[in-house]
C-alpha cells in the first residue's frame, strides 16, 4: 500500500520531466542495511526521496534518515561523487513545504528538504532551476560502482543479515581487496578440511584496514552449528563484543518487526551470542572438559596481539578461576584447545601492529613461539609484513620462517585504512607523528588536509562546537582521552568514571549517555577496534613532548610520576595511537592551556606538545 501511494504521488509530480531522467525504487544501500524509497535522476540533479505515509510532522529522525541516504550515495557511489544531491522528506499528511532550498555543503549535498505531497512538484522545479551541474546520463550513473567503507557496527549488521564482504567493502585498486583476503582464508579452510590439516593464519593490517571485518565475514559464512565448518568470532575486547552483540540484537528485532513478525530481544540474543563470543568465556568452557574439543573447527581471534602472556594468564587463573596449577600463556592454551580436534582445525589471528595497550599483553610473537615450540604439526600461513618493527615479532618470525610448514603471503596483509574513507593514510601520519618523524608527518598532513579535516585547539568548548558543526545526519561524534589522563577533571572529564560503551556508541542523539552529548568520554580501552565519524582527542600531560622525545607520566596521589618501564611507556604511546586513529571523517585535537595556579597542570606540561602539533602543520581553530 505504501508503494501504491508513492506511485500515485510521483505520477502527479513527474509528467513534466518525461524522457529527462530515470527513477529507481527501493534502492539498496548495503552499508546501511537499508533501502531508499526512491532515487530520482533528472537533468543535473540526483533526488533522494523518503516518504513517511500518514505523517503530519517532519520528525528529526526521519530528516537524519534521508540525509544519511544522500551522504551514503555521495561518499560511496562512484558516479555520485561529483553530483548535486537533494534529499527530500515527504510527510504525506502535511500541508507545509519549504519555500526556499536549504543550503548545500561543500560536497554539494543539500540539507534535507521538507515537502508535502502538493509541494513536491514545486521543490523539484526549484532545485532544477537553481542548482548548477552538468546533465546526468542516467544509464552511466546507475552503473557506477558502490564502494562503501562501513563502520564495524554497520558491517556486522550487514554480514549477519546475509551480505558478503564484497557487498559492503571497497574493491578499488587503491587497497588490498578484502574479498581477496577473505577468499584466501576460505580456501585455506576448505583445504584444511579436505586434507585433514591443522592451520594457523596470521593476518596483519594497519589500523582500520578491515581485519575485524574479514574475521566477521568468515564467521558469518559458517554460522550453522550443524555444519563442521562452523566458525566462531572471538575477541578479548569486552566493549567491542558488547557493542556488536547489542547492535545485532536490535537490528535483528527491527528486521523481524518490519517483516511483520515478533521476536524478543532475549531470543535474538541467544543466536547472536553464538556468532560473537568473548575469548575468555571460550577459554573457560575449554577448561571445564580438558579432553573434549570445542564445537567449532574454525576459531577467529580478533586483536590476537592482545592475548595474555604466561605470567598474566597464570596469575589470573589462580586468582579468579581457582586453577592454581595453570602454567600456560593464553595463545598456548587456546591453540591446545583447537588441537584437540582429531581431524582438522583452523585458527585465524587478526593482528594490529603497535596496539598492545595493557599489562600482560603478549604480542604476536607469543603465538608464533607457541607454534614453533609446542605444535609442530600445524602449518602456518603468515602475513609477509610480520617482520615489520611495529609488530615486535622479528626473532619469532625468523624462527618460523626456517620451518618447511611456513608460508608467507601478501594476501594476509591489509595495507590501507578503510576506516577513514576521506583519507586512507591517516595511520601513516599518526605513526610518523608519534615516531617524531616531523618532516614526514608534515608531508603526510599536507596530503590529508584537503579531504580529512584535522585541527588543533586549546579550547574544549570550541572543539565541541567544531564537532557538532561538522557532523551531518546521524554521523557519530565523541570525545576520547587516554586512560591515564587524570588531570582533565577541571574540564569536567573524569576518566575514573567509566563510560558504558553500549550506550555511548549506540545511543541516539537524545540519549544523554551517548557520545553525541560530548559529556562522557571514552578511553583507548573502550574505543579500540571501533570508530566514530568525527573525533575529539583531549591530550593530557600524561604524554608530553619535551622538545625532542615523548615523555610518558602517570598521575599517582597528588602528583605526576615519570614512567620508566619500557613496556608501560610503549603502552601509553600505543594508547595515543589508538585514540588518534578512530576518526573516519575528521578530528580535532585539544591540548588544554594548563594553569599556573595548579602545580599538576603547569602550562609547560602542555605547551611543548601543542607547539609540536603546530610545527607539524595542524591548523589552529
What is the secondary structure of 536-593 as a DSSP string?
Answer: EEE--TTEEE-SSSEEEEEEETTEEEE---HHHHHHHHHHHHHHTT-EEEEEEEE---
Q: Decide which of 159 and 68 is more confident.
A: 68
Pairwise pLDDT comparison (432 vs 352), residue with the higher score = 432
Instruction: Provide CB contacts within 8 A for 556, sequence distance 6+.
Output: none
Q: What is the tens place of the pLDDT at every residue in 451-493?
A: 999 999 999 999 999 999 999 999 999 999 999 999 999 999 9
Average confidence (pLDDT) over 101-120: 95
| 321 pLDDT above the threshold of 70 | no
pLDDT at 86: 98
**Cut 0.75: pTM above it:** yes
pLDDT of residue 173: 39
pLDDT computed for residue 320 by the predictor: 65
Q: What's residue 414's pLDDT?
A: 87
CA gap 567, 573 in Å, rounded: 10
Residue 126, all three cell numbers: 526549484
258-270 pLDDT, tens digit each: 888 989 999 989 8
362's CB contacts (< 8 A; 6+ apart) are 305, 307, 308, 309, 312, 329, 330, 331
> Which pLDDT band holds residue 312 (cuts at 50, 70, 90)?
confident
pLDDT of residue 353 exceeding 80, the answer is no
Residue 418: what pLDDT? Answer: 66
Cα(143)–Cα(163) distance, integer angstroms: 20
pLDDT beyond 90 at 438: yes
Confidence of residue 283 (pLDDT cuts 50, 70, 90): confident
For the residues 528-534, what does the mean pLDDT come to?
A: 91
Contact present, 592 and 538 (Cβ < 8 Å): yes
Give the torsion through C-alpha atoms of 329, 332, 337, 339, to 10 deg. -170
- Which whole-number Å values give the CA distances from 35 to 8, 13, 248, 582, in the listed order? 20, 22, 18, 28
Cell of 438: 616531523
Looking from the CA of 39 toward its CB, the CA atoms found within 13 Å total 23
Give SS3 for 198.
strand
Q: What is the pLDDT of residues 403-422, one digit of tens each?
A: 999 999 999 998 876 666 77
DSSP E strands, 368-446: 379-383, 406-409, 413-414
Q: CA-CA distances (angstroms) from residue 329 to 138, 236, 374, 386? A: 59, 14, 12, 21
pLDDT over 90 percentage in the chain:
66
Contacts of 544 (CB under 8 A, 6+ apart): 550, 551, 552, 553, 605, 606, 608, 609
Distances from the Cα of 568 to the Cα of 254, 342, 357, 362, 509, angstroms = 44, 41, 8, 13, 37
Length of the chain: 621
| Average pLDDT of the chain to the nearest whole number | 90
Task: Report helix, strand and coil shares of the chain as percent, to nearest 5.
Answer: 40, 20, 40
Residue-level pLDDT at 549: 94
The C-alpha cell at 55 is: 505523517
Pick from 103-107, 150-154, 334-338: least confident: 150-154
How confident is residue 110, by pLDDT bands cut at 50, 70 and 90?
very high
Only one residue has cell 570445542, namely: 294
Amino acid at each position: 500500500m505504501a508503494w501504491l501511494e508513492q506511485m500515485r504521488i510521483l505520477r502527479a509530480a513527474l509528467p513534466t520531466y518525461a524522457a529527462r531522467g530515470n527513477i529507481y525504487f527501493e534502492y539498496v544501500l548495503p552499508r546501511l542495511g537499508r533501502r531508499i524509497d526512491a532515487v530520482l535522476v533528472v537533468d543535473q540533479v540526483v533526488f533522494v526521496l523518503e516518504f513517511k505515509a500518514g505523517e503530519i510532522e517532519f520528525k528529526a529522525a526521519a530528516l537524519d534518515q534521508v540525509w544519511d541516504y544522500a551522504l551514503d550515495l555521495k561518499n560511496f557511489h562512484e558516479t555520485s561523487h561529483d553530483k548535486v544531491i537533494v534529499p527530500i522528506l515527504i510527510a504525506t499528511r502535511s500541508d507545509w513545504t519549504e519555500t526556499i532550498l536549504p543550503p548545500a555543503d561543500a560536497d554539494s549535498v543539500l540539507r534535507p528538504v521538507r515537502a508535502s505531497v502538493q509541494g513536491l512538484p514545486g521543490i523539484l522545479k526549484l532545485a532544477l532551476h537553481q542548482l548548477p551541474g552538468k546533465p546526468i546520463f542516467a544509464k552511466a550513473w546507475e552503473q557506477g560502482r558502490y564502494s562503501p567503507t562501513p563502520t564495524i557496527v554497520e558491517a556486522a549488521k550487514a554480514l549477519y543479515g546475509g551480505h558478503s564482504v564484497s557487498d559492503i567493502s571497497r574493491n578499488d585498486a587503491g587497497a588490498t581487496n578484502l574479498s581477496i583476503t577473505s577468499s584466501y582464508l576460505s580456501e585455506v579452510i576448505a583445504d584444511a578440511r579436505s586434507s585433514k590439516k591443522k592451520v594457523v593464519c596470521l593476518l596483519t593490517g594497519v589500523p582500520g584496514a578491515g581485519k575485524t571485518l574479514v574475521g566477521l565475514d568468515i564467521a558469518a559464512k559458517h554460522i550453522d552449528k550443524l555444519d563442521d565448518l562452523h566458525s566462531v568470532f572471538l575477541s578479548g575486547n569486552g566493549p567491542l563484543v558488547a557493542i556488536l552483540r547489542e547492535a545485532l540484537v536490535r537490528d535483528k528485532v527491527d528486521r523481524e518487526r518490519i517483516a511483520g513478525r515478533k521476536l524478543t530481544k532475549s531470543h535474538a540474543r541467544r543466536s547472536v551470542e553464538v556468532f560473537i563470543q568473548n575469548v575468555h568465556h571460550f577459554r573457560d568452557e575449554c577448561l571445564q572438559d580438558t579432553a573434549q574439543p570445542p564445537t567449532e573447527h574454525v576459531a577467529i581471534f580478533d586483536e590476537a596481539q592482545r592475548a595474555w602472556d604466561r605470567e598474566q594468564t597464570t596469575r589470573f587463573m589462580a586468582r579468579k578461576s581457582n586453577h592454581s596449577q595453570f602454567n600456560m600463556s593464553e595463545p598456548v592454551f587456546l591453540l591446545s584447545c583447537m588441537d584437540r580436534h582429531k581431524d582438522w582445525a583452523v585458527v585465524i589471528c587478526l593482528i594490529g601492529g603497535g596496539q598492545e595497550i595493557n599489562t600482560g599483553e603478549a604480542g604476536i610473537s607469543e603465538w608464533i613461539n607457541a607454534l614453533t615450540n609446542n605444535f609442530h604439526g600445524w602449518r602456518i600461513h603468515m602475513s609477509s609484513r610480520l617482520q615489520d618493527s611495529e609488530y615486535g615479532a622479528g626473532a619469532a618470525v625468523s624462527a618460523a620462517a626456517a620451518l618447511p610448514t611456513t608460508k608467507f603471503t601478501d594476501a594476509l596483509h591489509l595495507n590501507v585504512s578503510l576506516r577513514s574513507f576521506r583519507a586512507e593514510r591517516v595511520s601513516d601520519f599518526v605513526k610518523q607523528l608519534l615516531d617524531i618523524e616531523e618532516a614526514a608527518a608534515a608531508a603526510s598532513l599536507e596530503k590529508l588536509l584537503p579531504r580529512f579535516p584535522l585541527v588543533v585547539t586549546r579550547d574544549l568548548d570550541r572543539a565541541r562546537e567544531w564537532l557538532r558543526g561538522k557532523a551531518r545526519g546521524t554521523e557519530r561524534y565523541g570525545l576520547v582521552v587516554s586512560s591515564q589522563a587524570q588531570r582533565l577533571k577541571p574540564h569536567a572529564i573524569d576518566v575514573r568514571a567509566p563510560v558504558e560503551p553500549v550506550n555511548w556508541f549506540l545511543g541516539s542523539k537524545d540519549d544523554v549517555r551517548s557520545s553525541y552529548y560530548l559529556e562522557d568520554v571514552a578511553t583507548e580501552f573502550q574505543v579500540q577496534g571501533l570508530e566514530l565519524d568525527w573525533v575529539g582527542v583531549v591530550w593530557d600531560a600524561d604524554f608530553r613532548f619535551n622538545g625532542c622525545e615523548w615523555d610518558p607520566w602517570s598521575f599517582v596521589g597528588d602528583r605526576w610520576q615519570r614512567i620508566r618501564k619500557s613496556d608501560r611507556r610503549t603502552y601509553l604511546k600505543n594508547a595515543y595511537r589508538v585514540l588518534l586513529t578512530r576518526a573516519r571523517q575528521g578530528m580535532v585535537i585539544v591540548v588544554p592551556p594548563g594553569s599556573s595556579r595548579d602545580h599538576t597542570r603547569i602550562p609547560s606540561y602542555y605547551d611543548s606538545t601543542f607547539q609540536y602539533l603546530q610545527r607539524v602543520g595542524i591548523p589552529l581553530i
